[in-house]
Amino acid sequence: MIPNLIPAAVAGWLFAFMISWNEFIITYFLVGNNLTLPVYIYSQLRFGLSPKVNVIAVLITLFTLFMITVLLLSRKIYGRILIKTGR
């Protein structure tokens, strides 16, 4: 049962991550004293771009591409396992 739940858990995590990036405006107005990553990037864009923002953007892009690759490969491997077991 656990192996069947892993794809759903990962998909839920990815959707939550993407929705949190999408809700920037709400976060910007409600942030208070805490500084979140999207608000930090926005403030750096407004007051002068630093190399840190470029590095963060590259890391986020690489992380997203890595997760897509892992999910596609796991889907392919899981399909092969299902074919071999005859399910």
pLDDT of residue 21: 67
For residues 43 and 34, the answer to whether their CB atoms sit within 8 Å is no
What range does the domain containing 15 cover? 2-85
pLDDT of residue 62: 92
Amino acid at position 29, single letter: F
Give the alpha-carbon dihedral of 24, 29, 33, 38, to 10 degrees. Answer: 10
Locate 2 and state its tokens. 């656990």
Q: What percentage of the chain reaches a pLDDT higher than 70?
A: 94
Give the alpha-carbon dihedral of 6, 9, 14, 19, to 10 degrees. Answer: 170
pLDDT tens-digit readout, 15-53: 877 777 667 777 777 777 877 777 787 778 777 777 888
Give me the residue label for tokens 């990036």: 21
Give the chain's domain count: 1
